Structures are given as C-alpha cells and as structure tokens.
Amino acid sequence: EDQVTQSPEALRLQEGESSSLNCSYTVSGLRGLFWYRQDPGKGPEFLFTLYSAGEEKEKERLKATLTKKESFLHITAPKPEDSATYLCAVQAKNTGGFKTIFGAGTRLFVKA
C-alpha cells in the first residue's frame, strides 16, 4: 500500500537551532515529491518539487533532499516566522493518471 510518513510529528526549536524534518515513502511509480508549508487555517503553500534521488533544492533557510526512500527538509538557523506545519506529498502512478498522497505533517515551533 502506498504510504507517506513524516517525522517527527512536532518539533520545537530555539531560534537559530538548525534541524531536519523527515518524509519516508513507500509508493510504486513515483513521479515526484513535494514539500509544502501550511499555516493554521490556510491552504498549503508550495515550497519544492523533487523528481529523482540525489536531487536537492534550496530556498532561503530551507533545503530539500531526496533519496530512493525518503526526503529531508533541512532548516538552517530558523526564525520564529518559520513556525508552521510542513507537509510532504508524493505523486504516484494510478489508474488513468496519478494520485497525490500527503503525509500527516510536522508541526514546527520556533521560539525567539
């Protein structure tokens, strides 16, 4: 069964304390892996797309990496405004098209 698991469920950091979020997946026919940021009560905001193992993308304090079984979202020197839920999603082949499976997310809290 296709599955996406994110860990940890919640992460509390001090401002400037770097860390990583994990997204492990088990899908057949992976087409792409996506990272989103979601603030409370709002729609997810697109961050990165990764298509193949070894690929890396960076944006400000965030860096996403991909292996054959998992992806990491590295946060360098986080600030309080980075507090949000970070969602990982994979697109996999499905009958007639493809399907998108989201992980449950990691809630990040950054304290000043």
Partner 1 sequence: DSGVTQTPKHLITATGQRVTLRCSPRSGDLSVYWYQQSLDQGLQFLIQYYNGEERAKGNILERFSAQQFPDLHSELNLSSLELGDSALYFCASSVALLAGGDNEQFFGPGTRLTVL
Name the site residues for partner 1 (rule: CB under 8 A).
31-32, 34, 36, 41-46, 49, 51, 87, 89, 91, 94, 96-105
- Which residue, 3 or 18, is less far from partner 1 as judged by CB? 3
Sign of CA dihedral 49, 4, 37, 112: negative
Q: Shortest distance, CB of residue 40 to partner 1, whole angstroms?
A: 11
Burial (0-12, 13-18, 19+ Cβ within 10 Å), 52: exposed
Q: Shortest distance, CB of residue 25 to partner 1, whole angstroms?
A: 15
- Beta-strand ranges (E) seen in 1-112 are 3-7, 10-14, 19-26, 30-38, 45-50, 56-59, 62-66, 70-75, 84-94, 97-102, 106-111
- Which residue, 41 or 54, is less far from partner 1 as judged by CB? 41
Q: Shortest distance, CB of residue 3 to partner 1, whole angstroms?
A: 12
- Which residue, 23 or 87, is less far from partner 1 as judged by CB? 87
